[in-house]
Amino acid sequence: MVLRMAEIDSMKFWMTQLSNRDEATREGYRIYFLKFCKWINKDPNKLILMKKQVLEHNGDRRENMVLEGKVKQFMSYLEHEAVTKHGKQGYGLGTRKMAYAGIVSFFDHNQYPLSMKRGDRPSGDALGSRIPEKTEIVKLVNTAKSRKHRAVILFLKDSGLRLSDVVKLKWKDIQDFGEGFFGFKLITQKKKVKALAFIGPEASDALNQLPRKKDRIFPIDATYLCAAISDLVKEAKLQKGLTAHGLRKYFNTELEAARVPKEYRYAMMGKKIGAYDENRQARLFEIYKQNYDRLRIFGVTIDEYEQRIKQAEENEEAIRELQKSLKELTESSKNWDILRKMFEQRQKEG
């Protein structure tokens, strides 16, 4: 039986063709393509029919470019006029690229591709994804009024995972390694790569402030959280360009500075590398724990240093190094105490 065009739902057909793409990409494409449909006041099936009719027309070739012109107008609308759900006028470059790719993908997979030019695609340098300073992350955390937002920020900087992966994690996925360290095994949403991720005491303390439920740790949409973090950056009056993805870069950069080999960093972050033996997770955790101080934003506490000195009683050189660090920390502890108290006050306020 041969189905006529009117009997084929173009939206369902498109989603089926995208079944090999990650969930976040499919959802992003769907959301912004439907925004285009609403803006142009046409449903998906009518858009395909419209494209079919102009291609079959033998008149003026310029008639074939009507939809292409509408796509370009929509891109301009998103950049200058559209108001986001957070009240900001104009969408960023990353969102406009997602919207453009989704619209083009819809027509491509329905076998009626648009004749877009190379220059039609949104372009330019994105301001996002710069590597934040520790003090900026502290200010970002202290600006957040929600415990959930604070926990997400600390989780991202401790784990180096993508936001799309963090929001999929469940309470049952937690492996307790002791001393405030948690581990997670997961397959990443975007690349379908195995990640052996960890978080340290700063993130786990914030996590323990959240109500434990049976399902996801952060039952929030990744797109919403990304926008929420951008709003916090603005509220904290931080330099533009600090995004959720920047916290992933922070993780990688700090551990790279600590000379942690790339294959270990990538195994924790869920970035594609050669095969990594899962049985070596214990070794990976040792490396993470040894270098966790690089990821801290509130600094190591005096109590923790004193505990380390007790554990290193048989190693005089280690004791001298720790005592030196303890002295430096004590001298600057007032500053850290102020920051820590601000953070703890926020936690109490909820």
Q: Which pLDDT score is estimated for 2? A: 43
User: How does pLDDT run across 197-243, given as a tens digit for each residue?
Assistant: 999 999 999 999 998 877 999 988 787 788 788 888 888 999 888 88
Rounded mean pLDDT, 148-165: 95
Residue 251 has pLDDT above 60, yes or no: yes
Q: How confident is the model at residue 58 (pLDDT cuts 50, 70, 90)?
A: low
| φ, ψ at 267 (rounded to 5°) | -65, -35
User: Is the Cβ–Cβ distance between 79 and 96 less than 8 Å?
Assistant: yes
> Greater confidence, 338 or 285?
285
Rounded mean pLDDT, 188-193: 83
Q: Which pLDDT score is estimated for 204? A: 95
> What's the token pair of residue 227?
């926008």
Q: Which pLDDT score is estimated for 331? A: 63
Q: Which pLDDT score is estimated for 59? A: 65
Please spell the DSSP secondary structure of 237-292, one letter per residue: TPPTT--HHHHHHHHHHHHHHTT--HHHHHHHHT---S---GGGHHHHHHHHHHTG
Per DSSP, helices labelled H in 81-183 are 93-109, 134-143, 147-159, 163-166
> Greater confidence, 326 or 227?
227
> Greater confidence, 195 or 190?
195
Rounded mean pLDDT, 317-323: 69
Rounded mean pLDDT, 26-36: 91
| CATH match for 134-297 among 3.40.50.2300, 2.60.40.680, 3.40.50.10860, 1.10.443.10 | 1.10.443.10
Q: How confident is the model at residue 336 (pLDDT cuts 50, 70, 90)?
A: low
Q: Where in the chain is the domain with CATH 1.10.443.10?
A: 134-297
pTM: 0.62
Rounded mean pLDDT, 161-186: 94
Q: Which pLDDT score is estimated for 21? A: 76
Buried b (16+ CB within 10 A) or exposed e, 21-47: eeebbbbbbbebbebbbeebebebbeb
Dist. CA 168–CA 166, nearest whole Å: 5
Task: Tell me what the pLDDT averaged over the chain comes to.
Answer: 84
Rounded mean pLDDT, 260-280: 79
Q: Which pLDDT score is estimated for 183? A: 97
Q: Which pLDDT score is estimated for 201? A: 95
